[in-house]
Amino acid sequence: MPKQRNLAIDRFRGFTIILMVIVNDLSEAQGFPAILRHAPHDRGIGLADLVSKFFIFAIAATYAMSFRGRLARDGKKDAYFHFVSRYFAIMGIGCLFGVFNAAWTGDTMWGTLQTIGLAGLLTLLVIKLPWGVRAAAGFGLLAVYQALYHFLPDLFAGEVGAMFEGVVMGAALMLSTAMIDLFNKGRKPFLIGLGVLALAAFGPLLLPGMVLTKQNQITFILICVAIASAVYFVFDLVSQKVRPTRPGLLCWWGENPMLLYIFHLMLTGAAMAIDPRPMYIAIPVNLAILSVLSLIAWAMHRKKFWVSF
């Protein structure tokens, strides 16, 4: 691990994982505001839709840099083996949770961790390529998805349809790594890239009769990546001025986001299965879970225990 961590990355990660815990725990509770849930009937974007893409962007923040460092240190074979093992391990943990979830609630066995694992593996195929090629690959993957959805809609039903979410997230991860590379090149290249991305994302919505739906994954993902890029940029600007060398709560969470997410699944599995839950029960439970996870995050920070992903 590097001696000096990037606090902007840690804070963005911490913000994202805390938001994810809140949204995941409360989104099924009675009285939770609709704007904070997934968009109803898959039309528009809710906070829950954005949070998952923020998490993908948080992975992208160090993906290429971590791969290049391991490639230079350990060689091509070991670098690829490490990343393949990492993302298969994430998928494996997700499958374990999926088995319990399916047995408990009857829902699909394919969940967030499996989606992240598949996205990471797909991105690994192009991570050595220049940022522009990665961006084109992500866009192309979305185009293929869109074509399949249009001509073979039955393919997206059930468990197989849930697995396609990993393909979409893979495209989002490729695009996000491209934006991170531009960010690392300097403020001007990044802002130009963000402007082009925002134009491509929001431009189609100006067309007559155009409505944003999750079925239109190209526009949906471009918007999510554009918003995540802008939020990350703001976190970096603020981190340069506010406590630039002193970690705090967000950094504690951001140092081990994947591990805290797994702990969160362990803590909330039974509570989330109780549906519907009134807000007067859901909020105290969520605050208790956040408090426990914050203590765990603080303890790992004190011990300098960091698990990369």
At which residue do the structure tokens 């039974």 appear? 270
- pLDDT for 98 equals 74
Dihedral Cα 245, 10, 27, 155, nearest 10 deg: 160
Q: Which residue has the higher pLDDT, 245 or 11?
A: 11
Separation of alpha carbons 263 and 260, rounded Å: 5
pLDDT of 1 reads: 39
Return the SS3 of 278.
strand
In this predicted structure, the answer to whether residue 125 has a pLDDT above a threshold of 60 is yes
Contact 261, 24 (CB under 8 A): no
Show the tokens assigned to 290: 């956040």
pLDDT in tens, 180-237: 999 999 999 999 999 999 999 988 877 776 666 666 788 889 999 999 999 999 999 9
Q: Which two tokens stand for residue 212?
A: 């944003």
- Please check the confidence at residue 101 and state whether its pLDDT lies above 70: no
Q: Torsion over CA of 154, 207, 227 and 171, rounded to 10 degrees?
A: 40
Distance between CA atoms of residues 223 and 212, nearest Å: 10
Report the sign of the C-alpha dihedral through residues 153, 93, 309, 107, in that order.
positive
Given pLDDT bands bounded at 50, 70 and 90, which one contains residue 298? very high
Stated pTM of the model: 0.90
Rg (CA), the chain: 19
Instruction: Say if residue 281's pLDDT is above 60.
Output: yes
> pLDDT band at 159, cuts 50/70/90?
low
pLDDT in tens, 4-59: 688 899 999 999 999 988 888 777 777 777 667 776 656 677 787 888 899 999 99
What angle do the packed helices 158-185 and 47-74 form, to 10 degrees?
A: 60
Mean pLDDT of the chain: 86
pLDDT bucket at 107, cuts 50 / 70 / 90: low
What integer pLDDT is reported at residue 152 of this predicted model?
81
